[in-house]
Structure 1
Amino acid sequence: MDSRAVTHARSGAGPEQCLYGSICAWDEGNYEGSFRAWEGSNPNWHDSDFGDRARSLKNNLRPGGPDAVRLYADPNYGGNSFCLPRGDFAEQLSSWGNDISSHRLVEGC
């Protein structure tokens, strides 16, 4: 199931603003700046004005369903990808910074 529902939150609120059951992204390192959260897969981050902007991530998915997220360089789950297991986070995206355009929930990495 694709979820294009996006949450906007105040800047600088940190990783605790990532609600349980969500995949979260910030446009600055260390969970600063603009924030987006999704509860399901999203084929095109550009639709929510967040494509190619993520600098930090958090996977706060619940156990019992897809527990990992595969992030893609291109919309519609295309291009290079990497996987972020449940509970993992990336405070500073170095080689992937500003190059994520879609994500899909998956069973494990």
Structure 2
Amino acid sequence: MRKVIAGLAVFAASASFALVNAAPAAAAPSCPKGSVCVWDGTNFRGGRYSWSGNDSNWHNNYWNNGSGKVANDDSSWYNNGYAQTDYDHVRVYDYNSYSGRMTLCLHYGPGTEVSSNSGANNDGQSHRWGGEC
């Protein structure tokens, strides 16, 4: 009986240690609600730009830290829009006017941010909101 009680005490102590020392959940990137945001650095660092609607030409947009144009300088992305049928996914294209290759489809919802993507890195020139991609 003593061994069972000692075993339970060790288990309880290790369980409480795990709870106290659990890693905190990663915070969502800073992006206004209802917007799609892009950053010029991976992992949501550096300059940020946000939109609440479509944009057919990223060449006329500049990073909030003054580091240059957004077009062809995007390295991380976050869809912080609203759940809305046929309008809660964001398609990023590698040419103006929503043409060329779709480099990313950003699904709606927390946890769907993209901190880096080698196939889409520095390729965005336009984006459009729509339904499921």
2:93 aligns with: 72
Unpaired segments ≥5 residues, structure 1? 1-13
> For residue 7 of structure 1, what is the aligned residue in structure 2?
none
| Conserved? CA contact 1:18–1:37, under 8 Å | yes
How far is 1:15 from its partner? Answer: 4.7
- The answer for the alignment partner of 1:102 in structure 2 is 126
Relative distance call for 1:55 and 1:76 in structure 2 (3 A) is: same
Bigger RCO of structures 1 and 2 (CA < 8 A, at least 6 apart): 1
Moved over 2 A (4+): none
The count of residues paired between Structure 1 and Structure 2 equals: 96
* Structure with greater proportional helix content: 2
Q: Which residue matches 2:14?
A: none
Q: How does the TM-score come out when normalised to structure 2?
A: 0.68
Report the CA distance between 1:95 and its aligned residue. Answer: 1.5
Q: Does the residue aligned with 1:37 lie in a helix, a strand or coil?
A: strand
Aligned equivalents of 1:15, 1:50: Cα separation in 2 = 21
For residues 86-97 of structure 1, what are the structure 2 equivalents within 5 Å? 86-87=108-109, 88-97=112-121
**Partner residue, 1:54:** 74
User: What percent of counterpart residues are identical?
Assistant: 33
1:3 corresponds to which residue?
A: none
AA matched with 2:91: R
Asked if 2 retains the 8 angstrom alpha-carbon contact of 1:15 and 1:31, the reply is: no
Q: Which has the larger radius of gyration?
A: 2
Q: Does the 8 Å contact 2:33/2:80 carry over to 1?
A: yes
Does the aligned pair in 1 maintain the 2:29–2:78 contact within 8 Å? no
The unaligned stretches of length 5 or more in structure 2 are 1-26, 62-68
